[in-house]
A and B are shown apart, each in its own frame.
Chain A
């Protein structure tokens, strides 16, 4: 499964540990430097698909009794594959002069 942009960001946010919905929204905004802001609708439709694919699972409710989610082993693997794919793409863009050389 290739995650969408929003799904990949949710997976990245959950790499830091279990989060509830609003926590994920804040993390995504932070790690994308404000470039991507997920609303509750986009977030929970992504969560539904990620749960259905077995990439995340629900964990025990937090102190506020909010549902929280964590990454599964499969989710980590898919996130890692996607990160590798993006990294390869960036390398290729560098080779073709789209980006300045890393050195």
Chain B
């Protein structure tokens, strides 16, 4: 591999817009530096590598603060927010139900579509609110919202899919130490749903209810934009 090729490969550490703008000029400068350097090749490469690593890190940070990556990070934050709130909400409900156990609840079950719809509403609502706060008005929210939900939905389903059902159907008196019981309930959230039908019903319910929330937020946003 020639030094120029190696340097070109190292340029991939910078963001694409930066490479497109300055990559060729940087390569020219590197050629001149190499041609006129009186240092040993080892010393030259040590200098060049240190320069690339430090400046690429700084440039990537700049890009995160000001460039298109700023939008991408905020958008990902809405996915993470939706996911975290949904998992916490599911586990909090399940734990509360289990903690305040009463024989009256014995045999009470919640169908997969029921808790799927609840989780979808929480997920869709949180992502909708997150996008409202974090994303610029010019962004087409319905599309961005659908993408965000598409990412957060399967993870949320995996993390809290079975927690409510297992808590309600497998209900038993609370342990002597409520914190142990709470931990147990949280751990159950990591279990898979009992069968594929449950999973499919739950996903569908989550998607439908979540999409409904997304459509409402996108629609109300569009109305607001027209009003300006």
Interface-facing stretch out of A37-45, A74-82, A84-92, A94-102: A37-45
Residue in A38, A40, A67 whose beta carbon sits within 8 Å of that of B30 in the complex = A40
Size of interface on A: residues with Cβ below 8 Å to B: 18
Interface residues on B, range: 20 to 34
Stretch of B54-62, B90-98, B161-169, B194-202 on the interface side: B54-62
Query: Cβ of B25 < 8 Å from any Cβ of A?
Result: yes
Task: With A39-B51, A40-B51, A42-B55 as known contacts, state yes or no: A21 contacts B26, CB within 8 Å.
Answer: yes
A20-77: which residues lie under 8 A (CB-CB) from chain B? 20-22, 25, 37-45, 47-49, 66-67
A48 and B29 form a contact (CB under 8 A): no
Are A39 and B25 touching (Cβ within 8 A)?
A: no
Query: B21 to chain A: closest CB distance in Å?
Result: 7
Please give, as numbers and ranges, the residues of chain B lying within 8 Å of A49 by CB-CB distance. 62
CB of A44 within 8 A of CB of B25, answer yes
Can you spell out 26 A-B residue pairs with CB atoms less than 8 angstroms apart?
A: A20-B25, A21-B25, A21-B28, A22-B29, A25-B29, A39-B47, A39-B51, A39-B55, A40-B25, A40-B27, A40-B29, A40-B30, A40-B33, A40-B48, A40-B51, A41-B52, A41-B55, A42-B55, A44-B18, A44-B25, A44-B26, A44-B29, A45-B55, A48-B21, A49-B62, A66-B25
